[in-house]
Amino acid sequence: MMEEVDRILIHSLREAGTDIDEDVQSVKQFTSELIVEAVVKCLRVIDPALGNGLSHSLPPGMSARFRLGMSLAQACQDVGFKGEIGYQTFLYSNEPEIRSLFMFLVEKLPRESAEASDQPAGKSALLQRAIAAQIKEQSSVPWLPPSCRLPIHRKTQSSGPCYSFHAQPLSLPYSVKVSSRKQPKDVQEYWRNYLLPVTAQPSQHASVPASLLENHISELSATQEWESEWNSQGLLSRLTPEEYRSRKKARLQKRIEEQLRAAAQPRPDTHGATRSTSDLAELLQSFGGASTGGDVLTKGTRFTHTEKFTFTQEPEKAAQQMAAAASALPSSHQSEEDLKAQQEAELSALQQQLQQLSVQMEEVGGDIKQLTVSIQQVSDELQQKEVSNGEKENSIKMKRQTIDLLPDTENNLLKLQGLVEASSKRVVHLASQWEKHRVPLIDEHRRLKELCSNRESESSRKLSEIKDLHDKIRQSAEEAKKKESLYKQLLTEFETLSKDVSRSAYTMRILEIVGNIKKQKEEITKILSDTKDLQKEINSLTGKLDRTFAVTDELVFKDAKKDESVRKSYKYLAALHENCTQLIQTIEDTGTIMREIRDLEEQIDTENGKRTVSNLEKILEDYKAIRQENSALAAKIREG
């Protein structure tokens, strides 16, 4: 297990900048120089102020080495190392101390990777990061003046042609509302033969992307709006989509019409606006006319009527005049003024005619109106007279019948009474029959009403269920999208992470170690329980032994006073007991001694690992070297 730890330590030390040879696999193989270099490099990373004052190579002189060792120890203690440390740790190292020192230093090394991995997800954060990456990339390329630019700089440094975002409406070879089979033939033919492809339709090629994108987005948003409206209001109204749409259209048209009418009302303070308001009124009439279906053409305004009349007369007049002019033309070589005068005379004559005709028409129109009014009156009178005629005839009939019945009064009276009674009885009978019919029909009516209301409640419940399902669908779609984008983002992050030390090896190792520890714990518990059992057995056996001995002792002693052989057996018993106790004692002592042996062996191993002997030899040598240096320095001082 120590190899794993050493491998991780060596790797981290290499990352901190120490130059460790390839064949150094464990901390045991570290020489003093390597130790000093590693410690100094780590300190430089952890705390640059502290580490920069120390050199990372062991100086040759002994006193210098001693000083370096002291300063290193001090620095490590400043950084926070709690164990025992001094110059001896570096110059006369032993494995466990070095290992713990390195583990402490490697822990202290700052972790750069931790910051980069906790980055928030989310679309805006992603966008920010993409923007930052682009800016970084672009600013890392040095700026060149225009004459020196290569084509790769063209994208980032010189600005190409710029067009503003100008979207033009496109004419599409399909309709969103009507299926293509129901389009009239002319439209289909236009689409097939004359419609330009969409990329050729905008006036500038640069507007093509803008127009296409705008068109697409408007279609998308229209469908989205329709869906949200349908899911919220449309389903509640329980109509089919077409009915809902047509109702909405009619509602909107009515509102527009009302607004326009209100705006077009001639206000009392404006005088000169009559012309525009009458036009607006005609426009509104045409709105209303469209819904009642095609009366527009039959109505027509006064202008068209006058037009019709004048132009029906005109062709005949024109023909006549043309004939007259044609006949007049070849015979006249008159001058221009005469021609003009002639034309003006003709013009005035025609205008007079026009005026006469219009006056005539007005008179005739007035006459027609009067006559229609009188016709109406007369037909009304006729109807009234017919009605009163009918009534009078009825009364005459009845009077005649009564007169016929008069001669035979009594019989007729009786007969009449009988008739009256019979008819009243019939009425009662009919009423009862009606009652009989009415009751089941009313029950049926009530039953159907209940059924209807049940169905309504069912359908509203189902509607709410559908709404819930829609919401759930939307939510899960959003979650799925979010998770997909998160997955993609994490995938890209994972690819950019460094792969030199594999995490999976670490985690497997950790899991193995945890498993081992668990097994060991189980074994320890087993051993402990075994030990407890054994101890219990020993205790019970000792107890039994003591009791047995006490009983036997008493028994034999009682008899020993009388019999000689019993006294001998008593002595043997006592001796046996004593020997066995000694035996047991010896065994226990052996066990203790074996434990002590094991402990001592462990201590020997650790002490051997400390390389104390070699260290002592080195210390002796260094001591000798220091003494020599001291004497040399003293000699130098004495000389000069």
Partner 1 sequence: MELSESVLKGLQTLADPNVFDLKSFTTFTEVAFDSLDSSRGESVLGHPELRHIDQTTLKHCHTAATTFILEGVKQNADKSTISSCLEDVRFQNERVDTFYNSFQKNLESLLSSTDTCPPHITDAEWRLEYCYKGTFHVHKVNQPSYLISLNTERAGASSEINFSCTMDQLQDLVGKMKDAAKSLERATQS
Contact residues for partner 1 (CB under 8 A)?
128, 131-133, 135-136, 139, 145-146, 155, 157-165, 170, 172-174, 176, 180, 188, 191-193, 195-200, 205-206, 208-210, 212-213, 215-216, 219-220, 223
- Using alpha carbons, select from 68, 9, 7, 5 the residue that is nearest to residue 40: 68
Tally of CA atoms within 13 A in the half-sphere of 143 that contains its CB: 3
Nearer to partner 1, 183 or 285 (CB): 183
Phi, psi dihedrals of residue 342, rounded to the nearest 5°: -60, -50
Q: How far apart are CA 129 and CA 137, in angstroms?
A: 12
Q: How far apart are CA 485 and CA 462, in angstroms?
A: 34
Least separation in angstroms between residue 118's CB and partner 1 is 14
Least separation in angstroms between residue 180's CB and partner 1 is 7
Least separation in angstroms between residue 142's CB and partner 1 is 14
Q: How far apart are CA 178 and CA 132, in angstroms?
A: 48
Nearer to partner 1, 195 or 296 (CB): 195
Nearer to partner 1, 146 or 330 (CB): 146
How far is residue 378 from each of residues 371, 372, 389, measured CA to CA in Å?
A: 11, 10, 16
Least separation in angstroms between residue 45's CB and partner 1 is 21
Nearer to partner 1, 138 or 352 (CB): 138
Packing angle of the helix pair 95-108, 2-16 (nearest 10 deg): 50
- What sign for the dihedral angle of Cα 473, 478, 484, 486? negative
Nearer to partner 1, 163 or 434 (CB): 163
Residue 629: alpha-carbon gap to chain centroid: 77
Three-class HEC string of 190-221: HHHHHCCCHHHCCCCCCHHHHHHHHHHHHHHH
Least separation in angstroms between residue 162's CB and partner 1 is 5
Nearer to partner 1, 112 or 336 (CB): 112
Nearer to partner 1, 176 or 329 (CB): 176
Least separation in angstroms between residue 222's CB and partner 1 is 8
Least separation in angstroms between residue 301's CB and partner 1 is 42
What string of DSSP letters covers 409-427?
HHHHHHHHHHHHHHHHHHH
Least separation in angstroms between residue 209's CB and partner 1 is 5
Nearer to partner 1, 165 or 623 (CB): 165
Nearer to partner 1, 136 or 562 (CB): 136
Least separation in angstroms between residue 213's CB and partner 1 is 6
Least separation in angstroms between residue 72's CB and partner 1 is 36
Q: How far apart are CA 194 and CA 201, in angstroms?
A: 12
Structural contact between residues 183 and 175, judged by C-beta atoms closer than 8 angstroms: yes
Nearer to partner 1, 131 or 431 (CB): 131
Three-class HEC string of 354-395: HHHHHHHHHHHHHHHHHHHHHHHHHHHHHHHHHHHHHHHHHH
Structural contact between residues 256 and 284, judged by C-beta atoms closer than 8 angstroms: no
Tally of CA atoms within 13 A in the half-sphere of 372 that contains its CB: 6
Structural contact between residues 58 and 68, judged by C-beta atoms closer than 8 angstroms: yes
Tokens 């991995």 found at: 117
